């Protein structure tokens, strides 16, 4: 797969869905055969597209699983296997391969559906990605991006799925002029609509940056401009960052309050925030730790889930190429 890359009863989050705009691209796809998964805990699936509080997230094989399998004699292996490989993590779609994206997405979603679990997929293909930084890339232009989004959506199946839509696409726009900004925001809304048309059970979360980047009201204005009120199910914060969960919950609540739509929710990336940040350093800082395990049982009705969106051990681009798995970094994050 391609990457850059106490029990509680079900809650009452079932809410009417907002009317969606007609998508620019219509897509439909059939799930393919299942693949090996590390966990197989069943969970009830409802008819609503809302993420149920008892959802179990799918642990699809990633780089860390491959490393664990191939390095049984490494002294770091047991801790990495126990603390990181055992936890469900997001699958990133970051390489521009339009000819295989439907099959690649379907392999993830069909494996999750077979296990009765919810997969987390990251769409990371926006043109001018990362403003040319360490994770530069994406589709060559917006027509290509929307065509790729159609293929991606076609592989999402018909069961619940959480989509992290284009990390940094809204919080990082300093490299864009007004016309480029408007084009990006329009494409994000169209991509979300395409995903919903292909799989009405999908929950699509829009980028809100993190608590040390923009003020909640500022981020809410950007999200509104990008069409979240018509096309999104919620926001995500702290992706690939290290801010502590309590700060991110308060920030997400502030953004949601400023948006003023009580049907929107948030998810928070807790994959590397166990020790909080190292000052302002965002790129492979040493001495960090994994945070709360992925769960939909957050105890907060506004927070759909804590997720491991950035797979722990996959680099930011300073200690090695962005997305490359580092056993040294994973071992640190696991507490070694």
Residue whose tokens read 């962005």 = 322
Dihedral angle at the C-alpha atoms of 209, 272, 164, 315, nearest 10 degrees?
A: 100
For residue 124, which of 240, 24, 224 has the smallest C-alpha distance? 240
The one catalytic residue in 104, 168, 233, 269 is 168
**How far is the C-alpha of 25 from the C-alpha of 321, rounded, in Å?**
34
- Residue pair 127/168 in contact by the 8 Å Cβ criterion: no
Stretch (H or E) spanning 247 = helix 245-259
Q: Has 233 been annotated as catalytic?
A: no
Residues 6 or more apart whose Cβ sits within 8 Å of residue 193: 20, 21, 22, 23, 24, 231
**How far is the C-alpha of 141 from the C-alpha of 232, rounded, in Å?**
23
Q: Has 261 been annotated as catalytic?
A: no
3-state helix, strand, coil in the chain (%, to 5): 30, 10, 55
Stretch (H or E) spanning 212 = none
- For residue 219, the SS3 value is helix
Q: Has 316 been annotated as catalytic?
A: yes
The one catalytic residue in 130, 159, 193, 233 is 130
**How far is the C-alpha of 95 from the C-alpha of 123, rounded, in Å?**
10
Residues serving a catalytic function are 130, 168, 316
């Amino acid at each position: 797969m391609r990457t850059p890359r106490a029990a509680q009863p079900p809650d009452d989050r079932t809410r009417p869905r907002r009317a969606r705009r007609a998508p620019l691209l219509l897509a439909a796809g059939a799930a393919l055969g299942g693949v090996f998964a590390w966990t197989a805990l069943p969970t009830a699936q409802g008819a609503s597209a809302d993420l149920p509080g008892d959802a179990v997230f799918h642990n699809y094989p990633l780089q860390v699983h491959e490393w664990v399998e191939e390095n049984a004699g490494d002294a770091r292996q047991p801790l990495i296997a126990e603390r990181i490989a055992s936890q469900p993590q997001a699958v990133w779609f970051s390489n521009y391969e339009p000819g295989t994206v439907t099959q690649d997405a379907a392999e993830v979603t069909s494996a999750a559906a077979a296990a009765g679990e919810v997969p987390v997929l990251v769409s990371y293909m926006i043109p001018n990605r990362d403003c040319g930084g360490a994770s530069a890339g994406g589709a060559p232009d917006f027509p290509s991006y929307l065509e790729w989004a159609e293929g991606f959506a076609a592989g999402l199946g018909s069961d619940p799925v959480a989509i992290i839509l284009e990390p940094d696409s809204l919080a990082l726009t300093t490299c864009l002029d007004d016309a480029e900004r408007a084009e990006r925001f329009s494409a994000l809304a169209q991509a979300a609509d395409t995903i919903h048309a292909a799989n009405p059970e999908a929950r699509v979360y829009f980028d809100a940056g993190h608590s040390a980047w923009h003020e909640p009201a500022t981020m809410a204005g950007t999200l509104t401009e990008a069409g979240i009120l018509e096309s999104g199910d919620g926001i995500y914060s702290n992706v690939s960052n290290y801010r502590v969960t309590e700060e991110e919950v308060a920030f997400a609540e502030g953004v949601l309050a400023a948006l003023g739509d009580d049907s929107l929710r948030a998810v928070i990336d807790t994959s590397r925030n166990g020790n909080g940040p190292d000052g302002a350093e965002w790129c492979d800082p040493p001495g960090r730790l994994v945070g709360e395990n992925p769960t939909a049982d957050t105890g907060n009705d506004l927070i759909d889930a804590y997720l491991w969106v950035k797979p722990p051990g996959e680099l930011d681009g300073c200690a090695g190429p962005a997305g490359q798995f580092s056993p040294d970094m994973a071992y640190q994050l696991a507490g070694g």
